A = this chain, B = another copy of it.
């Protein structure tokens, strides 16, 4: 049974990996389950058995990508000198990661349409709560003004993700990145007690 379990887990991973490619390259709607599963060496039967339906597969893919992003952002934030710089670094990490076309297409464009409001996703919610607790700590320490921490976390996250979308479709993303990060930091400084 343990053997079958790991084999099943392998097939799940193969399907998710194939889906990441297909969804990223063709978009969720245009991706065919037949060709997608064939590339993984399986058929649609495996898909519906493991994920229920096409939506379930997208949910699994989004969760994986989103978790990778959250982990990366958190690790970057932890390296900062203090909590405030950590918050800014997390935002910057999100913007940079979201420049990846795969993230754009799957997490930022198709995800919300198919799965609904991102702030309700398990992965995003985890990230939001992390940011929220950081902000609460900053408020307690008198660094950030007393503000609704949850709303503040959501605003920062939303601005960062939107910035990435905007950046990616700009003429020269790499050139605009510094200016965008500067504007983002300025925006965030609105929460500071002293500018």
Residues of A in contact with B (beta carbons under 8 Å apart): 27-29, 108-110, 112-114, 116-120, 145, 147-148, 151-152, 154-159, 161-163, 165-166, 168-169, 176, 179-180, 182-184, 186-192, 195
Contacts and interface: CB of A to CB of B under 8 A. Distances in A.
Residue among A27, A29, A114, A155 with max Cβ neighbours from chain B (10 Å)? A155
Contact of A168 (B117, B151, B187, B191): B117
A116 B104 CA distance: 10
A19 to B, nearest CB: 16
A162 B163 contact: no
16 contacts: A29-B29, A29-B113, A29-B114, A109-B116, A119-B165, A145-B186, A148-B176, A151-B183, A152-B186, A154-B163, A154-B166, A156-B187, A157-B162, A158-B166, A159-B187, A195-B195
Contact of A176 (B109, B151, B184, B189): B151
A155 B190 CA distance: 13
A52 B165 CA distance: 27
B169 A117 contact: yes
A166 B112 contact: no
B183 A155 contact: yes
